[in-house]
Each structure stands twice: as structure tokens, then as C-alpha cells.
Amino acid sequence: GAVVSQHPSRVICKSGTSVKIECRSLDFQATTMFWYRQFPKQSLMLMATSNEGSKATYEQGVEKDKFLINHASLTLSTLTVTSAHPEDSSFYICSARTEQEFSYEQYFGPGTRLTVT
């Protein structure tokens, strides 16, 4: 089956620093990737949708200058949390989708736990 990886799986950073999270589709080409954040005991909240080679589309209320998304290739998307603050601490999950006929399925990464101290 399709595999999506994320790196790092856990990261602790100091307030004010930036953190980059990578999302890779390992055995398929992902024309569309999604970034979610999830707080404890809550659902996944879609942050943005990115298509390879174009700018990401951010959901309402998500600061695009704070959460920089780059979808540079069909197998890699990155999320950079700039000037991180403790309230940015969360579980960040990416997913990837192919453009196969009749397939709408998203494949999720294992998530990245970000802790900002």
C-alpha cells in the first residue's frame, strides 16, 4: 500500500525558533498533499492544501506567513512553523493523495509531535 512518512516524528524547540517538518510519499507520486494539526482528544483540523508546483491554499484562520508550506516535488511537501510559540505545540499530520482514476483516498503520515518550550 501507499506509504507516507514524516520527519521528524518528535521535535522540541525553543520559543521564537522555526521548525521544518517534512512529508514524503515513498512509493507513489502525490499531486496533492494536505496538512492537519490535531490537539489532544480533538479531531484533525485541516490547515492547508498544497499542489505540486503551486502555492498552498490555506484554510480560514490559518496564518500563511506563520505556517509556510512548500510542495516542491511530487513526493515531498514541507511545513515550516516560523517563530514558534508554545501555543503552536500540537500534533501535525500530513496526508497525500494520488490522482488515480476512481481513487480519492488520502494516505496519512504518522504525524509529528511539536513541543515549543
Partner 1 sequence: GESVGLHLPTLSVQEGDNSIINCAYSNSASDYFIWYKQESGKGPQFIIDIRSNMDKRQGQRVTVLLNKTVKHLSLQIAATQPGDSAVYFCAESYGNQFYFGTGTSLTVIP
Interface with partner 1 (CB under 8 A)? 4, 6, 32, 34, 36, 41-46, 49, 59-60, 91, 93, 95, 104-111, 113
Of 43 and 87, CB closest to partner 1? 43
Three-state secondary structure call for residue 109: coil
- For residue 84, the minimal CB distance to partner 1 (Å) is 20
Alpha helices for 22-95 (secondary structure H): none
Three-state secondary structure call for residue 95: strand
- For residue 38, the minimal CB distance to partner 1 (Å) is 9
Helix, strand and coil percent figures for the chain, each rounded to 5:
5, 50, 45
- For residue 5, the minimal CB distance to partner 1 (Å) is 10
